[in-house]
Structure 1
């Protein structure tokens, strides 16, 4: 009997699957906390952007709901995927943080290897933890100032980056990340902030017995699948998940994209009709719906790929990046098309831009416009 040929999913089919998983095809009635959990966290190095990310996905959302999650310590801002700041649930932060230790250290060393070559990282971690053990939030400069005499020949920036984004499991304490709040980064040990030690790293056992790694694979596919193993690695930054993928493979389904790459997915995850209508959606800077893949052609044209990493806020029209947006000094939401928009598309874009303007101004203004492309 000939081998079964895997079903091919083209970019449009993958696009609709992504939109469905990301609550961008239809808004979700989940709570903000459950949405953050479902998405595996929200990229949050720009403190105000997660508010737009949730507004784009939830049927009903008020900014205070996310601020409350942070002040009530049910969600936290931490360095995690790809060494970028992510807003994740407290439970995920505790469960996942140890699994990211090695990757975080490697990424900092990739930048500051020469600066830190003579530093005993275990000694640095112990010294930093001793300073932070009182539970008081500190800026990176305050933390490093307390340790500088022990490493006088090392630059303060390399020491600080290694401590707060790799060696020490820390959260960024409010008011950082609260709605319309201004405040620098002040770090506090996760264990102090959440009242519980982070889960220890479970050694990888036989046959890929890596419970955290397997959980990450499942969570990724639930929110981003169908996807390649390379997409998974690009999302989380972890290199050590092949064993977890192999252990889960018997319970997964396999497809091919139109370029012949294998796509893995959960059997019962939604894969909508490729012709399903996709409403206009406004996304924040660095949204993982775009950045959560290595192969992003399902949602953005290759010629525009750089927009997402440059921090441009984007507009999805028919499910694909078709414009960028910004707010002006007058509070209006200005849309800059990347391609000509049909009249019906323009009407829907303006309608959604007005809704966004109302959200950002808390009902004070619904001004919106479509500007001419620049350049």
Structure 2
């Protein structure tokens, strides 16, 4: 049996959060099987909190040099992944992306041949990168009377599209324009990457984990049979509720009393989104905040490895203010660690600010 605390420490170690690691950004992105990157830039903090000496220019170069891309993948959400993972993982998640898109936009494309729509969409985005609004207008000329947003989103589901720079580049801005992954990366999609290999990598970055955890992370369903096929290659445990957990035999499972430093997570950090049971990290104090499920995602703080507060950063008139809102009054030692880490994060996230300050709010 693995206690909640043992699961916490194992997951933090896999997520590169028990210590800052000396990896390249490319190595870290591949190890983590990507970072959720819904926003243009907040995910940079996710690499900063994991890597020693992290330089955001390194990731910007990966994007501009087409060694990494931002595209719809796990759970049909935008992820930052290496070019290699974009080409081999995207085909595995085709059913997830099509299913979620059809549920929302299916009526808007009723009566249209899917193959014709996908071909027209490919021609449009390979002519030049386009926003979804632009793509919808182009497709609307061919299929007048149909919802243009539905046309564009259906193409997004049918084709692997990437958001092209300057979108996502550190310190830059730009509209979300899309090209086909194959044209942008100059290589075809891979159809031979095993789902089993992707799940083994998930365990390496998020394990130990249950079948429901695997499904929550990927968006795929009916993974029980896949887990049974993998069982001879894995070890199994039970959590405190008796749920079976799968893991790699040689994966790190630190002592539950291993110290966990203060960590500031960005708003879509996969640590918080990739398990069906999030109690290995999420506390009752977090649940008591009653965050709006449809509102902005909170940026959370970890104390002793568990959710203990939120943070925000505001820059106004040359002053960057990082505000920490603990769920409970921290000890003097914890308050000092929070202030120190918060100051370092403010320096990273707002390098242009003349003044930086950290304050605590109740």
TM-score, normalised relative to structure 2: 0.94
Distance 1:307 1:237 in 2: 23
* Aligned twin of 2:208: 226
1:142 maps onto 2:128 in alignment: no
Asked if the contact 1:358–1:366 (Cα under 8 Å) also holds between the matched residues in 2, the reply is no
* Aligned twin of 1:331: 320
- Structure 1 gaps of 5+ residues are 1-7, 203-210
Q: Specify which of 292, 296, 321 is matched with residue 307 of structure 2.
A: 321
**3-state SS of 1:100 partner:** helix
- Structure 2 gaps of 5+ residues are none
Asked if the contact 1:40–1:219 (Cα under 8 Å) also holds between the matched residues in 2, the reply is yes
5 Å-filtered alignment, 1:305-316, equals 305=287, 307=291, 310-316=296-302
CA-atom RMSD, angstroms?
1.7
5 Å-filtered alignment, 1:273-312, equals 273-302=255-284, 304-305=286-287, 307=291, 310-312=296-298
1:265 maps onto 2:251 in alignment: no
Q: Specify which of 158, 168, 193 is matched with residue 167 of structure 1.
A: 158
* Aligned twin of 2:111: 118
5 Å-filtered alignment, 1:1-375, equals 8-134=1-127, 136-164=128-156, 166-200=157-191, 202=192, 211-302=193-284, 304-305=286-287, 307=291, 310-328=296-314, 329=316, 330-362=319-351, 364=353, 367-373=356-362
Shift of 1:364: 4.8
Asked if the contact 1:357–1:365 (Cα under 8 Å) also holds between the matched residues in 2, the reply is no
Asked if the contact 1:332–1:365 (Cα under 8 Å) also holds between the matched residues in 2, the reply is no
Distance 2:95 2:62 in 1: 28
Change (3 A) 1:321 1:366: farther
Q: Deviations over 1:193-225 (max 9, x none)?
A: 11101113x5xxxxxxxx521111111000000
TM-score, normalised relative to structure 1: 0.91
Shift of 1:240: 4.6
Distance 2:175 2:228 in 1: 42
Distance 2:194 2:142 in 1: 36
